[in-house]
Chain A
Amino acid sequence: MFWLLIGSGLSASFRPAGAVNGPDYIAYFYPGIVVLVLLFTSIFATISVVNDRREGFLQSILVAPVPRWRVVMAQALGGTTLALLQGLLLLLLAPTVGIQFGAISILLSIGVMALLAFGLTNLGLLIAWRMESTQGFHAIMNLLLIPIWLLSGAFFPSTGVPGWLAWTMKLNPLTYGLAAFRHSLYFDTTANAFGEGPLWTLSLLITGLFCVLAYVGATLTASVQTN
């Protein structure tokens, strides 16, 4: 919904730099929306940790002889599954914005989506394991997650923005996740339809690294926060 409303509204006044006569804004915005859905589903899947840790199912798991890295891995894979299913639903809409898939492109897109979902779920876990209340979690959401999405190139490309903003976008790990997803969507057709972004290999590399770091971070947090 969000994507249709904003995308259609802005497409008249906004044309991404470097794609003057290319696809319209709604097509530019499409990968960003998929990433947004992945981001929200992944992170919201982890919110239950906050309450469950104090009262509920998770307590019985915490007193069982199971190492924390396995608990976190299971939680991360659970969140990833949920997010991926949501993402796949949206992926079905891709042809409506003129994206033509080949088999490789589909497989790559799904792969990148899974990677992103896994990294983001772990980011959520990293936060959730520290939180004492769900209110605190929501505060972090607004403070951190919305900005990293806005500044990932999902909403506007980094070309033509002020220097400091361009740098912030360059340092944002989600920029590379989004770029990797964009690349994989258009893998079979022309290389990059929307101006300059991070390279395919670099994007994939950084996204992978982000996954590993987020997972290790989440595991360490879980270990520190529990006995």
Chain B
Amino acid sequence: MLRSENGRQEVSLVVDTEVLHSITTEGFRQPTVSDSRIEVENLSHAYQKRQALDNVSFDVSCGEIFGLLGPNGSGKTTLFRILSTLMPVTSGTVRILGHDLATEVKAIRNLLGVVFQHPGLDAKLTVVENLRHHGHLYGLAGKTLHHRISELLERFGVADRAKERVEILSGGLKRRVEIAKALLHSPRVLLLDEPTSGLDVTARRQLSDYLGTIAQTEDILVLLTTHLLDDAEACDRVGILDAGRLVALGNPDALKAQVAGDVILIESTDNETLGTAIAERFRVSTVFTDNQLRIECKRGHEFVRDVVATFPDEIQTIRFGKPTLEDVFIKLTGNPFVEKKDTEN
């Protein structure tokens, strides 16, 4: 670059680069990968004393179902509130489809569909009335809104209940109406906080099917929080939170592959003594969780045979299984997958 001794020229050069910069960043911005992703980088959040989120980073792409798994109090609600624009980003950065969550809240709100854990429907209004109000909030009206409502009610199988008051619907139907409502303004991102809470097994499975279809057919990014391991298994990718830290991230099967071989659970009258004895004899590491001895090893069937033969009196129950996400959690944190004493908020 040419350097001029003339001060005025230098100044004009600076102005020029600034103009150039603004053109490249705003005027002619090319669509990039980040335009179809949620990117969370070093996100931390603290309430008065407690660190709720500690340096969390992850990415999610459109078309993907991403599950945030963690016991209650692990920080997933905090993370959800930040992503849904209810709480500000205080430390770290979050970009949603290329928009910075700290500065472009309004643009992001248009792209988000949010389903809260607590019902966001007015129970005294009918299904259609709820959806209509929601449409108005997002600037939809008239025929467009009408068509979109019928289309969604049809797809979620609640068209025949459209004129009924929300309060008389079952939990599963309410949840479907909520999701229909959240999708009304055709968002690119669907956020759901504990969507399966209060649902029975059938409704839960149905819900996860619906979400899978939506994510694929409409190329929507689906991010949900859950404390249920089954729900997390159904996701494309899972992030496991523990005490505000992201301890694992990846495909459920890949995560389970981290656990060596098989998992054996033993119950006995004196877990501690037995644990030490087994550890010495078989050279395996043992972990106590929920009054159980937990042992991870390869060739589990042989281990079970040997351990029962060696301690026939001490062992009351022995269970043998392939690893689940719970085992992943226990392996990574050393803690059982249960609620923390220190609850959220």
Contact = CB atoms under 8 A, between A and B. Distances in A.
Interface of A: 55-57, 59-66, 226-227
Nearest to B112: A63
Nearest to B83: A63
A57 B87 contact: no
A63 B113 CA distance: 9
B138 interface: yes
A60 B86 contact: no
B118 A59 contact: yes
B85 A57 contact: no
A55 B116 CA distance: 8
Contacts of A59: 86, 114, 116, 118, 120
Given A227-B88, A227-B105, 8 more contacts: A57-B121, A60-B114, A62-B85, A63-B85, A63-B86, A64-B134, A226-B86, A227-B86
Sorted from nearest, which 3 A-B pairs have the closest CB atoms?
A55-B118, A60-B120, A65-B109
Contact of B86 (A57, A62, A66): A62
Contacts of A226: 86
A56 B120 contact: yes
A61 B181 CA distance: 12
Contact of A64 (B117, B119, B138): B138
B186 to A, nearest CB: 14
Contacts of B119: 56-57
A55 B106 CA distance: 22
A65 B114 contact: no
Interface of B: 84-88, 105-106, 109-110, 112, 114, 116-122, 134, 137-139, 181
Nearest to A59: B116
26 contacts: A55-B117, A56-B119, A56-B120, A57-B119, A57-B121, A59-B86, A59-B118, A60-B114, A60-B116, A60-B181, A61-B137, A62-B85, A62-B86, A64-B109, A64-B134, A64-B137, A65-B106, A65-B109, A65-B110, A65-B137, A65-B138, A226-B86, A227-B85, A227-B86, A227-B88, A227-B105
Contacts of B122: 57
A61 B112 CA distance: 12
A111 B1 CA distance: 72
For A63, A64, A226, A227, the residue with the greatest tally of chain B CB atoms inside 10 Å of its CB is: A63
B134 A60 contact: yes
A60 B134 CA distance: 9
A227 B120 CA distance: 18
B45 to A, nearest CB: 12
Contacts of B120: 56-57, 59-60
A226 B81 CA distance: 11
Contacts of A65: 106, 109-110, 137-139
Contacts of B105: 227
A63 B109 contact: yes
B88 A63 contact: no
